[in-house]
Amino acid sequence: MLTVLASGVAALVALLAPAGDASALPSQDAGVSALSQDATDPYVVWKPLQSPSEEQEKAYALLKTLDAQGSKQCNTVGEASWTYNTNITEENKKKKVAGSLAYAKWQKESWRQVQEWKGRWENFTDENLKRQFSKWNLLGTAALEPADLEKYENLESDMSTIYSTATICNYWDKESGFWDNQECNLNLEPDVKDILEKSNHYDELTYVWKSWRDNSGKKMRKKYSEFVGLANKAAMINGFDNMGDMWLFPYESKTFRDDVKRLWEEMKPLYQQLHAYVRRKLRNIHGADKIGPRSPLPAHLMGNMWAQSWNEKLDQFTPYPGKASLDVTAEMVKQGFTAKKMFELSEEFFVSLNLTKMPQEFWDKSVIERPNDREINCHASAWDFCNHKDFRIKQCTSVKMVDLITVHHEMGHIQYYLQYNDQPYIYRGGANPGFHEAVGDVLALSVATPKHLHKIGLLKTLQNDAEDDINFLMATALEKIVFLPFAYLMDNWRWDVFSGAVKEENWNCHWWNYRTNVQGIKPPVKRSELDFDPGAKYHIPANVPYIRYFVSFIIQFQFHKSLCLLANEYDPQDPNKPLHQCDIYQSTEAGAALSAMLKQGESIPWPEALKKLTGTDLLDASIISEYFKPLEDWLKKDNEKHGEFVGWEADDVYCA
């Protein structure tokens, strides 16, 4: 995940501001002088005006001043947020909030300067100048009055603290003495995650699943209610009906929600086949009394706290278990992998494409392991400190294959930062929020292939028969396909909350309606409106929009196909070069094409950026269908062979 303190409109989620009353604002010249006249940022490459005029030159000068200030302000608030997230104390929380308030004050001042050009910048003939003004014309939550903004920032920090510092006790079965003693200091990462991944004890998993929600989401429900009210207030000041509408603005499309729904409907048949197969496997392990032939899947059995991926239980779902395992965790441990070695391995992949190495500050300042002496927000994130040289990752890395994939994801954010590093501050962001999430995942599609794992010495033998192929595609689908409904429903739920389509007294049950109807997942114990299960997922208390991840899982396959063609690793006419076996490692041709798109940042609309690499300006799920075609065919035959019901039906009332 990229940190929301990165520069650029998509990252900051700063959105449309109202026109305002120009007569109440200072004059244009007075406004410029009201802000310190910083020198032009020497790192930024400014495009010459295409049609110079005195007025446009004057406007450009204002933007250059705001640009230099923006980078400095972003750096200051970023440092305060980093300090808090890597050392969670009350003192650091206060400093973070103070920094955010100071940054918002500057945002509002800079917005006032831009408003002086209202009615003029829209008529500029220079398209680049006009696009920059349109982005500076966005304000976001800084539009709130100071008292409301301070409350908003404190609520977000409080909810994040609840999430980041939550711990649970381990499971204690008095009758069986399942544990010798009880400890109550288990963190989500790595302690709780390890239990979910490794345990098959049904009652222990139920206990862990419920305890995490009791100690995280349940404790923030009242705060979230206040937060929603303030978020909507900010959105309305900005000219939107609610915060959900404001979140959609960076996608620059009136049909975006319909487009996303269409994409999910296209992918649903494959997901349903996968769901039916996994249900049978779980029924064989846990019994028909726990999992019925048509029931949704119990959320606590999937190996992941939110059941957003199921590959943590790959050993239970592998179609041909007699083949070599594609989870190379044991080999990583055997070879003495460390967190730093995992990051170095990822950097080497980027460098092999002739992309940019990490600057020294990255290695000096990143936090890539959980410290023992303080509380830390362990959710992996990549940070741009807006000074063109300081980029960091925060991740509590474990030596596991799944974390190796996460490392590549986060390093993808850093590479994107490096590629658009010479753009003006207002353009230093992803073409849309989904682009930023997709970059590292594109490389991970190559990294996870048996071919690549063999190449870097993590897979000792390379076999390439049909059974190995199906095993690999299953492992990939348990991450990539399984994630789609979860990514789709997260913001559908929040859009309903922000719009008032669901009343507060029904929030939690509405959440479970989505989880059941869209994802085919059910809770292991009955839920109620005393619970707040959405808050048990990081992005809810941290207020990070989630539909970006759905978009990223679509476009990463579009990117992958185009890069594989350039790398001569994929040929639709050659059965020996299928898309799912492609590895773009060491292809400088693929690297050059990827770089050309990434360098644009937000300077062009995202459909243009997409077309620059893929040849189309449309989101297209058909590449995913092509990638997984062998697995989908296999699943249909296997489910039919076992008489498995494809789909699910609720077998109880899960929330009341």
Q: For residue 518, what are its two tokens?
A: 């869209």
Q: What is the DSSP string of 349-382?
A: HHHHTT-PPPPHHHHHH-B-S--SSS----S-EE
Q: How many CB atoms lie within 10 A of CB 636?
A: 16
Q: How many CB atoms lie within 10 A of CB 21?
A: 8
Handedness of CA 419, 420, 423, 424 (dihedral sign): negative
* Active-site residue flag, 454: no
Closest CA to 36 of 9, 72, 12, 7: 72
Q: How many CB atoms lie within 10 A of CB 32?
A: 17
Sequence-separated (6 or more) residues with CB below 8 Å from residue 29:
none
* Active-site residue flag, 410: yes
Sequence-separated (6 or more) residues with CB below 8 Å from residue 96:
80, 81, 83, 84, 153, 157
Question: Is 409 annotated as ligand-binding?
Answer: yes
CA distance 176 to 24: 74
Burial of 395: CB neighbours in 10 Å, binned 0-12, 13-18, 19+: buried
Phi, psi of 46 (to 5 degrees): -95, 125
Question: Is 103 annotated as ligand-binding?
Answer: no
CA distance 520 to 514: 9
What kind and span of H or E run contains 437? helix 433-447
Q: Measuring CA to CA, how many Å separate 272 from each of 256, 294, 609, 655?
A: 24, 12, 33, 23
SS3 state of residue 220:
helix
Is the preceding peptide bond at 572 cis, omega within 30 degrees of 0? no
Between CA 580 and CA 586, with CA 584 as vertex, the angle to 5 degrees is 155
Q: For residue 44, what are its two tokens?
A: 């930024």
CA distance 208 to 216: 12
CA distance 178 to 176: 5
Q: Are 601 and 431 in contact (CB under 8 A)?
A: yes
Handedness of CA 327, 333, 339, 340 (dihedral sign): negative
Q: Which of 410, 602, 632, 644 is catalytic?
A: 410
Q: Which of 300, 452, 539, 580 is catalytic?
A: 539
Question: Is 201 annotated as ligand-binding?
Answer: no
Q: For residue 21, what are its two tokens?
A: 């009353």
Q: How many CB atoms lie within 10 A of CB 576?
A: 7
Q: For residue 17, what are its two tokens?
A: 């501001």
CA distance 614 to 558: 7
Question: Is 437 annotated as ligand-binding?
Answer: yes
Question: Is 548 annotated as ligand-binding?
Answer: yes
Q: Are 476 and 309 in contact (CB under 8 A)?
A: no
Q: What is the DSSP string of 447-508?
A: HTSHHHHHHTTSSS----SHHHHHHHHHHHHHHHHHHHHHHHHHHHHHHHHHHTSS-GGGHH
Cite the active site residues: 410, 539
| Binding site per annotation, positions for chloride | 251, 548
| Binding site per annotation, positions for Zn(2+) | 409, 413, 437
